[in-house]
Amino acid sequence: MPGTVVITGASSGFGEAFALAFGRLGHPLVLGARRTDRLAKVAEAARKAGSPRAIALPLDVRVRESIHKFAVAAELETPEILINNAGGALGRAPVAEVEDDDLVGMIEANLTGLLRMTRELLPGLIRRKKGHVINISSLAAHGVYEGGGVYAPVKHAVRAVSQALRLELSGTDVRVTDVAPGMAETEFSVVRLGSEEKASAHRPGRVRRRRLGSDPSTAREHLGSGAHSDRPGGAHQGAPQVALTGPWEDPIFLRPGARRRHRRAHVLHRASHDRRLRRHRDAFRLRGRARSCGPA
Protein backbone atom coordinates (compact mmCIF):
# COMPACT_ATOMS: atom_id res chain seq x y z
CA MET A 1 0.00 0.00 0.00
CA PRO A 2 1.28 3.52 -0.73
CA GLY A 3 2.80 5.38 2.20
CA THR A 4 0.98 7.77 4.52
CA VAL A 5 0.98 11.44 3.52
CA VAL A 6 0.87 14.19 6.16
CA ILE A 7 -0.52 17.51 4.89
CA THR A 8 -0.67 20.75 6.87
CA GLY A 9 -3.12 23.51 5.95
CA ALA A 10 -5.37 20.91 4.32
CA SER A 11 -8.78 22.55 4.79
CA SER A 12 -8.76 24.38 1.43
CA GLY A 13 -6.65 25.51 -1.51
CA PHE A 14 -3.49 23.56 -2.24
CA GLY A 15 -3.87 21.46 0.88
CA GLU A 16 -7.29 20.24 -0.25
CA ALA A 17 -5.93 19.62 -3.76
CA PHE A 18 -3.04 17.58 -2.36
CA ALA A 19 -5.41 15.53 -0.20
CA LEU A 20 -7.69 14.68 -3.12
CA ALA A 21 -4.80 13.96 -5.49
CA PHE A 22 -3.01 11.62 -3.06
CA GLY A 23 -6.35 10.10 -2.09
CA ARG A 24 -6.99 9.14 -5.71
CA LEU A 25 -3.57 7.46 -5.70
CA GLY A 26 -4.59 5.34 -2.71
CA HIS A 27 -2.44 6.97 -0.02
CA PRO A 28 -3.54 7.02 3.63
CA LEU A 29 -3.73 10.65 4.81
CA VAL A 30 -3.19 12.63 7.99
CA LEU A 31 -4.66 16.11 7.48
CA GLY A 32 -4.20 19.12 9.73
CA ALA A 33 -5.73 22.60 9.80
CA ARG A 34 -7.40 25.11 12.12
CA ARG A 35 -10.85 24.94 10.45
CA THR A 36 -11.77 21.46 11.61
CA ASP A 37 -15.29 21.56 10.13
CA ARG A 38 -13.96 22.12 6.62
CA LEU A 39 -11.09 19.72 7.26
CA ALA A 40 -13.54 16.92 8.07
CA LYS A 41 -15.26 17.48 4.71
CA VAL A 42 -11.92 17.30 2.89
CA ALA A 43 -11.07 14.05 4.69
CA GLU A 44 -14.43 12.58 3.68
CA ALA A 45 -13.91 13.66 0.07
CA ALA A 46 -10.44 12.08 0.08
CA ARG A 47 -11.87 8.78 1.36
CA LYS A 48 -14.47 8.83 -1.40
CA ALA A 49 -11.70 9.57 -3.91
CA GLY A 50 -9.89 6.38 -2.92
CA SER A 51 -7.87 6.98 0.24
CA PRO A 52 -8.13 3.91 2.52
CA ARG A 53 -7.75 6.09 5.62
CA ALA A 54 -7.97 9.88 6.02
CA ILE A 55 -7.60 11.34 9.50
CA ALA A 56 -8.52 14.98 10.22
CA LEU A 57 -6.74 16.53 13.20
CA PRO A 58 -6.77 20.10 14.54
CA LEU A 59 -3.54 21.96 13.86
CA ASP A 60 -2.34 25.53 14.28
CA VAL A 61 1.24 25.76 13.00
CA ARG A 62 1.72 29.02 14.93
CA VAL A 63 1.41 27.13 18.24
CA ARG A 64 4.21 24.79 19.32
CA GLU A 65 1.99 22.62 21.52
CA SER A 66 -0.49 22.13 18.67
CA ILE A 67 2.31 21.03 16.35
CA HIS A 68 3.68 18.56 18.89
CA LYS A 69 0.27 17.00 19.58
CA PHE A 70 -0.45 16.70 15.85
CA ALA A 71 2.97 15.21 15.10
CA VAL A 72 2.66 12.58 17.85
CA ALA A 73 -0.65 11.41 16.36
CA ALA A 74 0.74 11.53 12.82
CA GLU A 75 3.81 9.47 13.75
CA LEU A 76 1.52 6.63 14.82
CA GLU A 77 0.48 6.33 11.16
CA THR A 78 4.12 5.86 10.04
CA PRO A 79 4.24 8.79 7.61
CA GLU A 80 6.28 8.60 4.44
CA ILE A 81 5.57 12.04 2.93
CA LEU A 82 5.32 15.39 4.73
CA ILE A 83 3.80 18.32 2.85
CA ASN A 84 4.44 21.60 4.67
CA ASN A 85 1.64 23.55 3.02
CA ALA A 86 0.27 25.73 5.85
CA GLY A 87 1.04 29.43 5.60
CA GLY A 88 -0.10 32.60 3.91
CA ALA A 89 0.21 36.38 3.89
CA LEU A 90 -1.42 39.02 6.07
CA GLY A 91 -1.96 42.45 4.55
CA ARG A 92 0.09 44.37 2.00
CA ALA A 93 1.44 47.13 4.21
CA PRO A 94 5.00 48.37 3.58
CA VAL A 95 7.62 47.45 6.15
CA ALA A 96 7.40 50.89 7.81
CA GLU A 97 3.69 50.38 8.50
CA VAL A 98 3.23 46.64 8.98
CA GLU A 99 1.34 45.64 12.11
CA ASP A 100 3.31 43.58 14.63
CA ASP A 101 0.62 40.87 14.72
CA ASP A 102 0.82 40.49 10.92
CA LEU A 103 4.62 40.44 10.97
CA VAL A 104 4.86 37.76 13.67
CA GLY A 105 1.92 35.83 12.22
CA MET A 106 3.54 35.47 8.79
CA ILE A 107 6.86 34.38 10.25
CA GLU A 108 5.26 31.84 12.58
CA ALA A 109 2.85 30.40 10.02
CA ASN A 110 5.22 30.21 7.04
CA LEU A 111 8.62 29.55 8.60
CA THR A 112 8.66 28.73 12.31
CA GLY A 113 5.76 26.28 12.01
CA LEU A 114 7.36 24.59 8.99
CA LEU A 115 10.64 24.13 10.85
CA ARG A 116 8.93 22.77 13.96
CA MET A 117 6.76 20.34 12.00
CA THR A 118 9.77 19.11 10.02
CA ARG A 119 11.79 18.74 13.22
CA GLU A 120 9.03 16.63 14.76
CA LEU A 121 8.58 14.17 11.88
CA LEU A 122 12.03 14.09 10.28
CA PRO A 123 13.70 11.73 12.80
CA GLY A 124 11.12 9.05 11.97
CA LEU A 125 11.70 9.43 8.23
CA ILE A 126 15.46 9.16 8.75
CA ARG A 127 15.09 6.15 11.05
CA ARG A 128 12.92 4.33 8.50
CA LYS A 129 15.36 5.34 5.72
CA LYS A 130 12.48 6.34 3.51
CA GLY A 131 10.61 9.60 3.10
CA HIS A 132 9.97 12.83 1.26
CA VAL A 133 9.64 16.35 2.66
CA ILE A 134 7.79 18.76 0.36
CA ASN A 135 7.90 22.44 1.33
CA ILE A 136 5.48 24.83 -0.36
CA SER A 137 7.23 28.16 -0.79
CA SER A 138 6.23 30.64 -3.50
CA LEU A 139 7.44 32.44 -6.58
CA ALA A 140 7.98 35.23 -4.04
CA ALA A 141 10.95 33.14 -2.85
CA HIS A 142 12.68 34.12 -6.09
CA GLY A 143 11.95 37.86 -6.04
CA VAL A 144 10.46 40.74 -4.07
CA TYR A 145 7.68 43.26 -4.57
CA GLU A 146 6.09 46.26 -2.86
CA GLY A 147 3.86 45.20 -0.02
CA GLY A 148 5.70 41.89 0.31
CA GLY A 149 8.46 43.07 2.64
CA VAL A 150 7.67 40.33 5.15
CA TYR A 151 6.04 37.62 3.05
CA ALA A 152 8.76 37.49 0.35
CA PRO A 153 11.70 37.30 2.80
CA VAL A 154 9.92 34.55 4.76
CA LYS A 155 9.41 32.54 1.57
CA HIS A 156 13.07 33.11 0.68
CA ALA A 157 13.83 31.53 4.06
CA VAL A 158 11.59 28.52 3.29
CA ARG A 159 13.53 27.99 0.10
CA ALA A 160 16.80 28.21 2.06
CA VAL A 161 15.51 25.63 4.55
CA SER A 162 14.82 23.22 1.68
CA GLN A 163 18.32 23.74 0.30
CA ALA A 164 19.91 23.16 3.70
CA LEU A 165 17.84 20.03 4.27
CA ARG A 166 19.02 18.58 0.96
CA LEU A 167 22.61 18.84 2.16
CA GLU A 168 21.89 17.61 5.68
CA LEU A 169 19.89 14.60 4.44
CA SER A 170 22.34 13.49 1.77
CA GLY A 171 22.74 9.73 2.06
CA THR A 172 19.64 9.20 4.23
CA ASP A 173 17.22 8.25 1.42
CA VAL A 174 14.96 11.13 2.52
CA ARG A 175 14.19 13.47 -0.37
CA VAL A 176 13.44 17.19 -0.16
CA THR A 177 11.38 19.18 -2.66
CA ASP A 178 10.63 22.90 -2.73
CA VAL A 179 7.51 23.86 -4.70
CA ALA A 180 7.36 27.54 -5.68
CA PRO A 181 3.78 28.27 -6.81
CA GLY A 182 2.92 31.10 -9.14
CA MET A 183 -0.73 32.00 -9.76
CA ALA A 184 -3.91 30.01 -9.16
CA GLU A 185 -7.35 30.30 -7.64
CA THR A 186 -7.25 29.78 -3.86
CA GLU A 187 -8.29 31.79 -0.82
CA PHE A 188 -4.86 33.41 -0.49
CA SER A 189 -5.93 36.98 -1.34
CA VAL A 190 -9.18 36.74 0.63
CA VAL A 191 -7.22 35.83 3.76
CA ARG A 192 -4.52 38.37 3.03
CA LEU A 193 -6.80 41.34 2.44
CA GLY A 194 -9.64 40.37 4.74
CA SER A 195 -12.58 40.00 2.34
CA GLU A 196 -13.62 38.81 -1.10
CA GLU A 197 -14.55 42.38 -2.08
CA LYS A 198 -11.05 43.69 -1.34
CA ALA A 199 -9.46 40.71 -3.07
CA SER A 200 -11.59 41.25 -6.19
CA ALA A 201 -10.82 44.98 -6.27
CA HIS A 202 -7.12 44.27 -5.97
CA ARG A 203 -6.88 42.07 -9.05
CA PRO A 204 -5.65 44.08 -12.05
CA GLY A 205 -7.89 43.79 -15.10
CA ARG A 206 -5.24 44.72 -17.63
CA VAL A 207 -3.45 41.37 -17.35
CA ARG A 208 -4.96 38.42 -19.16
CA ARG A 209 -5.97 35.69 -16.75
CA ARG A 210 -5.37 32.03 -17.43
CA ARG A 211 -8.27 29.70 -16.74
CA LEU A 212 -7.53 26.39 -15.05
CA GLY A 213 -10.77 24.85 -16.22
CA SER A 214 -14.52 25.27 -16.18
CA ASP A 215 -14.98 22.70 -13.41
CA PRO A 216 -13.55 23.27 -9.92
CA SER A 217 -12.60 19.59 -9.67
CA THR A 218 -10.57 19.98 -12.88
CA ALA A 219 -8.75 22.91 -11.32
CA ARG A 220 -7.97 20.89 -8.22
CA GLU A 221 -6.63 18.06 -10.38
CA HIS A 222 -4.45 20.63 -12.13
CA LEU A 223 -3.16 21.95 -8.81
CA GLY A 224 -2.49 18.44 -7.53
CA SER A 225 -0.48 17.51 -10.62
CA GLY A 226 2.30 20.05 -10.10
CA ALA A 227 1.06 23.38 -11.49
CA HIS A 228 0.80 24.86 -8.03
CA SER A 229 0.32 28.42 -6.87
CA ASP A 230 -0.58 30.52 -3.90
CA ARG A 231 -2.16 33.47 -5.66
CA PRO A 232 -5.83 33.44 -4.83
CA GLY A 233 -9.29 34.44 -5.16
CA GLY A 234 -12.05 32.14 -3.80
CA ALA A 235 -11.47 28.50 -4.28
CA HIS A 236 -14.80 26.75 -4.53
CA GLN A 237 -17.11 28.90 -6.64
CA GLY A 238 -17.47 29.01 -10.39
CA ALA A 239 -14.75 28.63 -12.98
CA PRO A 240 -11.33 29.11 -11.36
CA GLN A 241 -9.33 32.02 -12.71
CA VAL A 242 -5.86 33.25 -12.00
CA ALA A 243 -5.71 36.18 -9.60
CA LEU A 244 -2.58 38.34 -9.71
CA THR A 245 -1.53 39.70 -6.34
CA GLY A 246 2.25 39.47 -6.33
CA PRO A 247 5.33 40.71 -8.16
CA TRP A 248 3.54 40.23 -11.49
CA GLU A 249 1.88 43.60 -10.88
CA ASP A 250 5.25 45.28 -11.41
CA PRO A 251 5.19 46.95 -14.87
CA ILE A 252 8.45 45.22 -15.78
CA PHE A 253 6.55 41.92 -15.93
CA LEU A 254 4.10 43.44 -18.42
CA ARG A 255 6.68 44.51 -20.99
CA PRO A 256 6.97 42.44 -24.21
CA GLY A 257 9.36 39.55 -23.71
CA ALA A 258 9.90 40.30 -20.03
CA ARG A 259 8.34 37.06 -18.81
CA ARG A 260 10.35 35.00 -21.30
CA ARG A 261 13.62 36.65 -20.27
CA HIS A 262 12.72 36.22 -16.60
CA ARG A 263 12.00 32.52 -17.09
CA ARG A 264 15.27 31.99 -18.97
CA ALA A 265 17.25 33.77 -16.25
CA HIS A 266 15.55 31.59 -13.64
CA VAL A 267 16.35 28.38 -15.55
CA LEU A 268 20.03 29.39 -15.84
CA HIS A 269 20.16 30.29 -12.17
CA ARG A 270 18.54 26.99 -11.22
CA ALA A 271 21.02 25.00 -13.32
CA SER A 272 23.92 26.77 -11.63
CA HIS A 273 22.40 26.14 -8.21
CA ASP A 274 21.93 22.43 -8.97
CA ARG A 275 25.61 22.15 -9.95
CA ARG A 276 26.65 23.71 -6.65
CA LEU A 277 24.40 21.29 -4.73
CA ARG A 278 25.95 18.32 -6.52
CA ARG A 279 29.45 19.54 -5.65
CA HIS A 280 28.49 19.93 -1.98
CA ARG A 281 26.86 16.49 -1.93
CA ASP A 282 29.90 14.82 -3.50
CA ALA A 283 32.19 16.55 -1.01
CA PHE A 284 30.09 15.30 1.91
CA ARG A 285 30.13 11.75 0.56
CA LEU A 286 33.89 11.77 0.05
CA ARG A 287 34.37 13.10 3.58
CA GLY A 288 32.12 10.35 4.96
CA ARG A 289 34.06 7.64 3.10
CA ALA A 290 37.33 8.98 4.43
CA ARG A 291 36.04 8.84 8.00
CA SER A 292 34.67 5.31 7.57
CA CYS A 293 37.93 4.01 6.12
CA GLY A 294 40.02 5.45 8.95
CA PRO A 295 43.81 5.81 8.93
CA ALA A 296 45.81 3.52 6.69
User: Annotated catalytic residue: which of 14, 151, 188, 248?
Assistant: 151
Q: CB under 8 Å, gap of 24 or more: what pairs does 140-149 form?
A: 140/246, 140/247, 141/178, 141/180, 142/180, 142/266, 143/247, 144/247, 145/246, 145/247, 145/249, 145/250, 146/94, 146/250, 147/92, 147/93, 147/94, 148/89, 148/92, 148/246, 148/247, 149/94, 149/95, 149/98
Q: Are strands 4-8 and 29-33 parallel, antiparallel or unpaired?
A: parallel
**Cβ neighbours of residue 9 closer than 8 Å, sequence gap 6 or more:** 15, 32, 33, 61, 85, 86, 87
Active-site residue flag, 145: no
Catalytically active residues are: 151
